[in-house]
Amino acid sequence: MSVLGALSDPARAVAARVEPPGRCPIVVYGTVLPWLGGAWREVPAAKGAAYAAALAAQARDWTTLQSDHPDCDFVLAGDMNQDLAESHFYGSRGNRAALVAAFQSSGLTCLTAGADDPVRLGGVRALATIDHLCVSDRLAQQVRWPLVAWPFGPIPTKTLTDHFGTAAGFSAA
């Protein structure tokens, strides 16, 4: 594994190139986008400005990394602080539209959106994930459904985190 530098937002994102035995290398990008009411750098939170600015900077990273590593699959994972559920849970309409557009323009498939939200699939109807897994097209064809969320229950384990964990499996390349 090698950590990739020169990211636009090193305080909120990290990227690494992983070379699993027997399969295509993967660039993994982890992130935490600003939450509602949270500023980003000198950009205030009002009207989603901080979210939009951080998302735009990171989305440039996603496309640059994919362009710089054409031999790799790409995984984007992290706390996007925005639901993509069929019914609203957290975030805003503007942030949601911007996030979906950023995924599309970066050629990413969000595995945790809509009916595929693993928190909802796990029977937790009052909640939805704001932590998302997105993958490049080639990797999207290898997903083993359904995704899994834990803990299996109505709320996360607050002594560890206020988020559910999410995992995806992939078939052999």
Domain total in the chain = 1
User: Mean pLDDT score of the chain, rounded to an integer?
Assistant: 88
Tens digit of each residue's pLDDT (9 = 90 or more) over 122-165? 666 667 778 899 999 989 999 988 888 776 666 666 666 667 77
Supply the CATH number for residue 34's domain.
3.60.10.10
Q: 59 is written with which tokens?
A: 């989305």
> What would the pLDDT profile of 60-107 be if each residue is shown by its tens digit?
999 999 999 999 999 999 999 998 888 777 888 999 999 999 999 999
pLDDT of residue 98: 96
Distance from the Cα of residue 144 to its chain's centroid: 18
Asked if 151 and 145 touch (Cβ cutoff 8 Å), the reply is no
**pLDDT given for residue 161 in this prediction:** 65
DSSP string, 33-54: PPPTT--BTTB--GGGHHHHHH
pLDDT in tens, 5-33: 889 999 999 999 999 998 899 999 999 99
Q: What pLDDT sits at residue 114?
A: 87
Nearest to 29 by CA among 71, 52, 60: 60
pTM of the model: 0.89
State which residues form the domain around 31: 2-170
